Structure 1
Amino acid sequence: MIAWNLISDDPRTVARDPQPAYRNMVSLVLDEVRRGIDRVAAMPESSRDLIQEYRAVQLRASGSSVYLADPQTVNARLQDVVGDARREILAAQPGGPRKREVLEGAVSRDSHALDRGVELRTIYRDTVRDHALTAEYARTMAARTGGRPAQYRTVVGDFERMVIVDREQAVVPDHIVEGSAPHAAWLVTDPAVVAVLAQVFEAEWRRGQPWSGELRARGGVVDTVSGTGGVRTNARQRVILRYLCAEESQPSIARKLEVSKRALETEIAELKALWGVHTLNGLVFQYALSPDRLIDDSAAAEDGPETAVA
C-alpha cells in the first residue's frame, strides 16, 4: 500500500486519495512498457551486428581454417607447421629467385627435416634456373648424402603458392578477406580441402622439369627486370613466349591467360612481327636467342615475406 502511495509512512498511518496514486502507477507501468518496446524494436539491428561479428570470427577461426592476417604471423605459423613435419613437405613457390638471407637460413632448417626422413619437394618458377644463389642452394640440398636429398622442379608460367605438410595441413594465400594484407594467408586443416590442394600440387609437379641446381648455359645471367640492352618485349609477351617454349597449346595458353583464342592469336601475330618471322617455330627460335629470355619478371616478388621452405 505504501508502494502504491495509498497510505503515508508517517508515524501515524493516514489513508490517501487513491486516484492520484492510481494515475502515478499507470504512468510508471506505461513508462516501463515503452522502454520494453524500445528494447524490442532495437533487437533486429543489434542482432544483425552480432550475426556479422559472429560470422567474421567463424570465417577467420573456424574448426578447419585459421586466418593469418600478416606476414609475421604467417611465417611464425609456417615455422611451427614445417618444424613438426613427420613424412612430407610439398612447397610451391611462384615468387622466383630467393634472397640470400632466406636461402642461408633454409639450408639448416630444411636439412633438419630431411635428416628426420621427411620428403621435401619444391616447385619453383623456371626463372630460378638463371639465378646463381637459388641454384647453389638447390645443388646443396639435392646432393645431400645424409638423410634424404631434396627434390626440385621448375614450371614455366604462374601457379598458386602453397605449403602442404604431411597432407594434413596446408598454408595458402588469402583470396577471400576483403582488405587483407598483401601476404595474408590461411592455415587449412580440413582433410578434404588439403587432399584437393595436394592433387593440385601433384599436377604442377608432373608438368614441371626436374632441377638439381644447374644454371642454364648462357653467356650472361640476368635476374632483374632492368639493365638488359636490346629487350623488345613486355612482361605479358614474355609470359606467352615462355608458354610457347614449354610446348603449351594455344587453347591452353588462352585459358591460362583468361583471354579468347582470337585475342591470343593477335598477340602472337604481334610478337611474330616484332621479330619479322612468320611461324611459331621461328618466333620461339628468335626468342631463345634474344636477351628477352634472360629477364626474370618475378624479381619484384622477392620483396614479399618468405615461407618457411625456401
Structure 2
Amino acid sequence: MADGPRRDRIEEVTGRPAKEPIRVYAGLHESRDLERTAEAVVDELYRTGAFDRSVLVVMMPAGEGWIPEWHPSSVEFLTGGDSAIASMQYTYLPSALAYYTDKETAGKAARILFDKVEAEVRRQPADGRPKLYIGGESLGAYGGQAVFADKDDLLDRVDGAVWTGTPRESPLWQELTAQRRDGSPEIAPVVDDGRHIRFVTERQNAVNDFYGRPFGMWEAPRVAFAQNPTDPIVWWSWDLLWNEPDWLRERASRKVTSAMRWVPWVTFWQIASDMPRSVRVPGGEGHRYQEDLVPLWAGVLGQDPMADYSKIQRAMREDYRVF
C-alpha cells in the first residue's frame, strides 16, 4: 500500500491535471484488535482529507496484508488521483493458509472496516461525500463479499465493486451464480441481464455476455466479478469429490482442455494441485488478474470499459513491475 503512482506520474501518463492519491493502511499490532485497527484507518482517512475525494475504495487484502498493485493503481490513474484507498491487515498468515484455517476472520475484518468507513461517508454532506467502492482479490474478495447479506444489500450500500478470483465458497458468489439466466454458463453468469452485476472472463464481458450478445447500459451501482476460466481458486470446491460441476459439464470455455473429464476424487485433487501454480502463469490465466483490471475498474467507475488504456497499463508495468 505504500507504493503507487504519484501526481506527476499520473499527469505524465494521462496528460491531465491530477491530485496526489491517498492510501491509508493499518497493520496488525498486539496492542489493538480488529475494531481498533479499523478505527486507526478511519482516523488516518480524516487526517489525510480522504473524505474530500471523489472516490473512496475499501480494498481488502489477501493473506499477510497483500494487495495486488493492479487494483489500487488502476483506480488512481483512472480518477486522476482524486481517490483514497483504505485497507487493513487482519492476519499474518499467507492467503492460502488463512483461507483454510481461518477465513472467517477475513469476513469479520471486512465487515468491521467497511461498516466504519461507510458510517463516516454517510456523515459527510450529501453533495460532497465520496462515492464508496469495495474491491479485493482471492481471500480479499471472499472477505469483502462477506460484508453484504445478499445482492440487494450490496447494491444498496456501494457505488461499485471489483472482485477478482473469488473463492467458490463465497456465499454471495454462490447466490448470484445460482440466480443466473437460463443458458448463461457458470463461468460467466448473467444476472438481471447485466444491469448492475457482470461476471467477466475476458474484457468484452464488460459489455457483452459470454456469447457476444450486448448488454444494455451498465447502471450504477456497478459490480464486476473477474474470474478466469482457468483459475483453480475460483473453481475448486469440496463437492468436487462427489459432484460434477456445471462449469465442467457445460464446457463453455475454449481455455479449458476438452480432454478434461470429471472423475470422483481425481478431479478434486487435480484442481487442488493446480492452485499453488496458478499464480505463476501469464496475466489473464490462472489466478493472475492484470491488464484487464484497468478497463474493468473504468467500467465500474462509469467510464468506457472498451476505451484504449494502454498508456496506463504500460506505465504500471514499467513503474511497479506488476507482472
Q: Same fold (TM over 0.5)?
A: no
TM range (shorter): under 0.3
TM-score, normalised to structure 1, is: 0.28
The structure having more radius of gyration, on CA atoms, is: 1
Instruction: Give the TM-score taking structure 2 as reference length.
Output: 0.27
Instruction: Name the one with the larger helix percent.
Output: 1
